[in-house]
Amino acid sequence: MAVVRERRQVNLRLPLPDLSDRCSRFPLPLPPSASTTAAAASASVTISQTELEKLQVLGHGNGGTVYKVQHKRTSKIYALKVVNGDSDVTVHRQVSREMEILRRTDSPHIVRCYGTYVKPSGDVAILMEYMDAGTLDTLLRTRGTFSEPELAHITRQILKGLTYLHAHKIIHRDLKPSNLLVNKNMEVKIADFGVSKIMSRRLDPCNSYVGTCAYMSPERFDPDAHGGNYDGYLGDIWSLGLTLMELYVGHFPFLSPDQRPDWATLMCAICFGDPPTLPQGASDEFRSFIECCLQKESSKRWTASQLLDHPFLRSHPTSD
């Protein structure tokens, strides 16, 4: 059993990195629309980094800072994730992995990347589409819990993103409300690929311990008790189940609302306790959907593409 990943405290007093013209130039696609397509993304113009003006800090992550930036010439808004050159090696490894995955992906359900920048000083940045409603975590805190129809809409989008990733042999490994970005049209996109894994084959086993432990499946928390390795794709499904439950009940499902998470409590609850269940009032379809995700034995969990056809989603058809 490995250690809990700690969130690095970002030093707010560090000067903002100056992304100068010495950096390589990257193609900047046309601004994203509600239905961004690969064709739209490939219709690109080129800008220099000095054409990006920082407007405000959107948030801090594990080693990086995300800024809202404006492309001066077109006034279009983007998000720029910046990691300083003096960050530790783990942070650089994570941002490199994130850049590699974002460059490979092309899906309306994955946050779109418009360029990556690497300076000789080691400063690294990723230019992404700006999601103007923040994350599902911030929405939960500001506007409260989500209804079943809202969750069905959210779930369908996450599952389409996961189906895309898994078909491309990418395991996210850190799915949680704060890694799901939202815009004002309630489009939900999967983000933050710092601890994701690209498999060389579809069924390669996983055995590394990275990600946010609270959302880890029992077999990821304690691989030794599960034969030393596990199917990482099904680990994403467990995290999805916990994420949806949290959005429905308003707090992390394994803990009561006022309980502080600590590693020992979490470990016992996830590895030795029963999976959490929905409170009274939830529909049978939603209850069944959550059960299909939160099976302790991973082989009993449904895959992302199977879940897309679950009665819970069929009972809330899309308008499109």
Ligand X SMILES: Nc1ncnc2c1ncn2[C@@H]1O[C@H](COP(=O)(O)OP(=O)(O)OP(=O)(O)O)[C@@H](O)[C@H]1O
Which residues belong to the active site?
174
Residue type, position 280, single letter = Q
* Contact string 238-277 vs ligand X (x = CB under 6 A): ----------------------------------------
Is residue 7 a contact point for ligand X (CB under 6 A)?
yes
* DSSP result, 124-153: EEEEEE--TT-BHHHHHHHH----HHHHHH
* Contact string 115-154 vs ligand X (x = CB under 6 A): -------------xxxx--xx-------------------
Q: Which of 211, 230, 208, 107 is nearest to 159 (CA)?
A: 107
Contact 183, 119 (CB under 8 A): no
Q: Which of 182, 209, 183, 180 is nearest to 197 (CA)?
A: 209
Nearer to ligand X, 112 or 301 (CB): 112
Question: What phi and psi values does residue 118 have, to the nearest 5 degrees?
Answer: -130, 125
Is residue 179 a contact point for ligand X (CB under 6 A)?
yes
Q: Which of 172, 167, 218, 226 is nearest to 195 (CA)?
A: 172
Q: Report the residue closest to ligand X, judged by CB.
A: 61
* Contact string 39-58 vs ligand X (x = CB under 6 A): -------------------x
Q: Which of 223, 236, 217, 126 is nearest to 179 (CA)?
A: 236
Stretch that binds ligand X, among 44-52, 187-195, 250-258, 285-293 (CB under 6 A): 187-195
The structure tokens listed for 34 are: 């509600």
Is residue 107 a contact point for ligand X (CB under 6 A)?
no
Q: CB of residue 112 vs ligand X: minimum separation in angstroms?
A: 9
Return d(Cα 111, Cα 130) in angstroms, integer: 9
Nearer to ligand X, 59 or 250 (CB): 59
Residues engaged in binding ligand X (CB under 6 A): 7, 58-62, 64, 66, 79, 81, 111, 128-131, 134-135, 178-179, 181, 191-192, 194
